Structure 1
Amino acid sequence: MIEQRDVVIIGGGHNGLTAAAYLAQAGLDVQVLERLDVLGGAAISAEAFAGVDARLSRYSYLVSLLPQRIIDDLGLSIELAPRRYSSYTPVPGGDTGLLVDNHDPMATAESFGALDAEDDVVAWAQFYEGTQHLARALFPTVTDPLLTRSEARAAVGDDRLWDALIEQPVGRTIADTFSNDLVRGVVYTDALIGTFAPNDDATLLANRCFLYHVIGGGTGDWNVPVGGMGAVSGELERAARLAGATLTTGAEVVALTTEKTVRWVDATGVEHETSAEHVLVNCSPHELARLLAAGDAGPASTADGAAAPPAEGAQVKVNLLLSRLPRLRDERVDPAAAFGGTFHINETFSQLQRAYDEAAAGQVPGVIPAEIYCHSLTDPSILGPELRASGAHTLTVFALHVPDRLLTEANNEAMRATLQRAVLDSLNSVLAEPIESLLLTDANGQPCVETKTTRDLEHVLRLPGGSIFHGDLAWPWAEDDEPLDTPARRWGVDTGMPGVLLCGSGARRGGAVSGIAGHNAAMAVLESR
């Protein structure tokens, strides 16, 4: 017997929960099918270390792109705490570094001066005035039907700025704007999170990544979710349940037909069929193509990349739990300030290019570029009372230029150990003491360090090639000649199949913890009814 629903959502990540809440609030009969036994997808908190009272944001860690409109519409109780310090970047091999203090421009200018980068102080201020102009113009549009490229350019209203950050490789603009190698690298890292690209990227994929990283909230600020990332997904789950959505975990979707019938297996092994007027796909376009192929259609029946080969992630993530913050080679900087923002390691402009070249040649970079986030400094609530009292802290290391092409199913375990060692060595190169001496141990006596490769992300979360964006990011607008003649196309969630919509990171304006794709898919459904 085939069960009937108004909407079935495949995947209970934060975007699927967002869509479920909106559609259930509108009175639709909605069911979410989540393969794992917990909801939230990559936006979860977890006890990563056995017997240790610390709930880490295991995969995603900061929030910038979640619109206030979604928070208000769904009545979410979410606290996003700002970080006083933007970043600290040690000079590789030196005993000084660049500290960018959001609250003290004079201190920031002095830090530039200590690097002999005085000429870049004014350039820095002007450059980020430009990104904030982009943010104010473009971020309010991400929860509206798509603008065209011409409309987006007109909304920005500054052709010189548009050309510098949209039409020309952003790495080239950065190289033309700043003179200091370290300063250039700090700026360019926003173009590389989850993206494998050289410093001068003719494909402009780095530009797209950069744009999403600087427009969030209309400011570009990245904030810490109080209570961990699980608090964000938990609120979305609460909103969806209160609205009346049915949320089913342990539900493995095995096929989708062109008639919008979803075949799925529950936690007990019983197979079900559910038919719906609308099917929202909160998984990658590659996963959608696989489900269609298992149904009654081939992958070629879908558009917008659903039949494209899987994208490639380019990162490794390492979670650490320390007895205290490490001492720095730069004794003038308090570790609490250095780790209070984004801590960049070995991310000068030249180091980023060198690491890219080595990885593109099939080698693990000799020096891994990475950045670090200390959630517990801004939000100690993720630690149990005893850990907080002891002075313990979490560190999340997000390493760049480690593309999935370096890994195979056969070498994943060995590569995890190799990459973990490389990341810790990169970190140790800028510290005054080895990080290993500060690692706490879990209930089994093992050091509190956890490393996730691209293959791990594919296995656990079904991110194709470990791509945190489900594929290459798209511009947050439509091209001028692109048809916008259906609700799905207008909202950037089209798959080429009527009634089947993307609502995850693979949608237009997807990526990051934002809920935007879920919101937009829900709006397309409501507009089409």
Structure 2
Amino acid sequence: MAANGARDFDVVVVGGGHNGLVAAGYLARAGLRVQLLERLPHIGGAAGSAQAFDGVEGRGSRDSYLVSLLPARILADLGAAVRLSRRQYSSYTPQPTTGGRSGLLIGSNRESFAAIGAAGDERGFDAFYQRCRLITERLWPTLLEPLRTRSQARRHALATGGLEAASAWRAMIDEPIGHAIADAVSDDLVRGVIATDALIGTFARLDDRSLLQNICFLYHVIGGDWDVPIGGMGSVTTELAAAAVRHGAEIVTSAEVYAVAPEGQVRYRRGHDEHLSRGRYVLAGVTPAVLADLLGDQPPPLAAGAQVKVNMVLHRLPRLRDNGVTPEQAFAGTFHVNETWSQLDNGYVRAAAGQLPDPLPCEAYCHSLTDPSILPAGLRDAGAQTMTVFGLHTPHSLVAGADPDASRDRLTHSVLTSLNSVLAEPIQDVLMSDAHGRPCIETTTTLDLQRTLAMTAGNIFHGALSWPFAEDDDPLDTPARRWGVGTAHDRIMLCGSGTRRGGAVSGIGGHNAAMAVLASI
């Protein structure tokens, strides 16, 4: 391989996902010399769009798919023209005990609790989320500020809410969230609708004393509504990349970083050539485990992923057994499948014993109902739709060490079987075919995420989620630690989902890493 001369930068960013792009944009805007290195031939990472099926045009969001935690302030600061659209309905949940002949529709001023015999839970459901907002509305702005300690965060959250806010803090932060859900509503299905936000990508029980489920729940509700990016998720990263370049950042794709030194040297291969970049600081948008490998450090404790994702293109929406809602209403928001409280708990028990849940708890999203632009006009006019199905309680341990194709087939079967249990027709009957006559269906397991996106053990959060505040005895003596992006090396910082307040398509990790660098220079 040919070696090239070293180049010097103020900051080298490893990884061109949305967080790396946000960090590069802020630092370049501040006048620093910034280079961003992306292993893949395109930017975006998990927050990208692609044509998934030969001969079927359209650029769907293949890995990440909704936006909740991306602050408008980040977009405004960088001048990124990202457009988001609100889904017409929040969710629809078919009642599995009736085979989907009734269900709960929530949103757009229409809530059908009575349709499932749970009219008495409507007030408790609304009151539960009102209590949550006492905490989330106070904590949300702090995610773009230096870390508060737990005590400081609690005082801040309770400053205006009094005893009711103190009760909400205990329910969300101090005690398993399952207790609060069970106290708020009594119906098995209604409890499950609330509980799913505590379990997406997180393998835990609702009463788990580790409170991992609480942290997951907090991040799912802290930013408000989950919106659809117009043009697909790739439109978000395209705009962020354009903003970073406009401010002066250099973006290099097909750049495989293979070593990082604590002093700031970054070695990468591009084609047949090797390159060396030197940065006063290095920001890593990769997982903490991948960064440890690049540095030659001991790997951090493994935190495995726990989800499976199935992308489809349909020639029309499937028919429902529930005559009280239309498919367009049911699939406009989150379509919950076999996610009652009991089914979620039984699914966890089976998965913990090494078996796939049966039925598999799932939720489906048809983004083309909110953003038809991701499909070409011909498909739109013919009634085609995209569908993404996200399966819960599928920990990496169920596929690790197994044959990848066999695992993918087994999980695909479980997802489709679960979905079909509440539909009036098999989903297979409305799948489009690609140019080769194959069904337009693509399954991504935790093994696939590890292989294609270097997400260690398929964890979509890059590791275990952490509270959006520091513990009272955590050292906050450097800018990197105060912003929640520190590593064992002063010149190396995290900037991706593995940061203290990373996760989801938020850009918060990238923003906070950039602020730590600017405070250090």
Distance 1:164 1:402 in 2: 27
Q: Kindly indicate whether residue 265 of structure 2 is the aligned counterpart of residue 265 of structure 1.
A: no
Amino acid paired to 1:424: L
Alignment match, 1:60: 64
CA contact (8 A) 1:320 1:449 kept: yes
Alignment match, 2:166: 159
Distance 2:272 2:502 in 1: 32
CA contact (8 A) 1:93 1:429 kept: no
- SS of 1:343's equivalent? strand
Note the alpha carbon deviations across 1:163-211, whole angstroms, 9 max, x for none: 0111000012111221000000010000011100112111000000000
Amino acid paired to 1:528: S
Alignment match, 2:214: 207
- SS of 1:443's equivalent? coil
* 1:458-473 matches, cutoff 5 A: 458-473=450-465
Distance 2:500 2:420 in 1: 39
* 1:122-521 matches, cutoff 5 A: 122-157=123-158, 158-216=165-223, 220-266=224-270, 268-293=271-296, 298-299=297-298, 307-521=299-513
Amino acid paired to 2:240: L
- SS of 1:318's equivalent? strand
Q: Kindly indicate whether residue 17 of structure 2 is the aligned counterpart of residue 25 of structure 1.
A: no
CA contact (8 A) 2:263 2:491 kept: no
How many positions carry a matched residue from both structures?
509
Amino acid paired to 1:72: A
- SS of 1:265's equivalent? strand
Amino acid paired to 1:286: A
Q: CA RMSD in A?
A: 0.9
User: % of aligned pairs identical?
Assistant: 57
CA contact (8 A) 2:338 2:362 kept: yes
Structure 1 stretches of 4+ moved >3 Å: none
- SS of 2:144's equivalent? coil
CA contact (8 A) 1:325 1:393 kept: yes
Amino acid paired to 1:117: A
Amino acid paired to 1:205: L
Alignment match, 1:303: none
Distance 1:314 1:97 in 2: 27
Note the alpha carbon deviations across 1:305-329, whole angstroms, 9 max, x for none: xx31332110000001101111111
Amino acid paired to 2:274: E
Distance 1:80 1:3 in 2: 38
- SS of 1:165's equivalent? helix
Alignment match, 2:161: none
Note the alpha carbon deviations across 1:248-276, whole angstroms, 9 max, x for none: 0000000111221111101x221111111
Shift of 1:135: 2.2
Distance 1:23 1:341 in 2: 37
CA contact (8 A) 2:198 2:206 kept: no
Distance 2:67 2:78 in 1: 17
CA contact (8 A) 1:199 1:349 kept: no
Of 70, 76, 93, the match for 1:72: 76
Note the alpha carbon deviations across 1:474-521, whole angstroms, 9 max, x for none: 100111121111100110000021111000000010000000000000
Shift of 1:155: 1.8
Structure 1 unaligned runs (5+)?
A: 300-306
Q: Kindly indicate whether residue 20 of structure 2 is the aligned counterpart of residue 16 of structure 1.
A: yes
Alignment match, 1:302: none
Structure 2 unaligned runs (5+)?
A: 159-164
Shift of 1:410: 4.0
Amino acid paired to 2:382: S
* 1:109-128 matches, cutoff 5 A: 111-128=112-129
Amino acid paired to 2:113: F
Distance 2:507 2:428 in 1: 37
Of 98, 102, 111, the match for 2:104: 98
Distance 1:235 1:81 in 2: 16
Distance 1:161 1:199 in 2: 17
CA contact (8 A) 1:409 1:455 kept: no
Shift of 1:408: 2.8
Distance 1:419 1:402 in 2: 9
CA contact (8 A) 2:262 2:491 kept: no
Shift of 1:465: 0.6
Alignment match, 1:37: 41
Q: Kindly indicate whether residue 519 of structure 2 is the aligned counterpart of residue 527 of structure 1.
A: yes
- SS of 1:372's equivalent? strand
- SS of 2:310's equivalent? strand
Distance 2:369 2:319 in 1: 15
Amino acid paired to 2:199: L
- SS of 2:74's equivalent? helix
Shift of 1:409: 4.2
Amino acid paired to 1:259: E
Q: TM-score, normalised by structure 1?
A: 0.95
Shift of 1:64: 0.3
- SS of 1:193's equivalent? coil
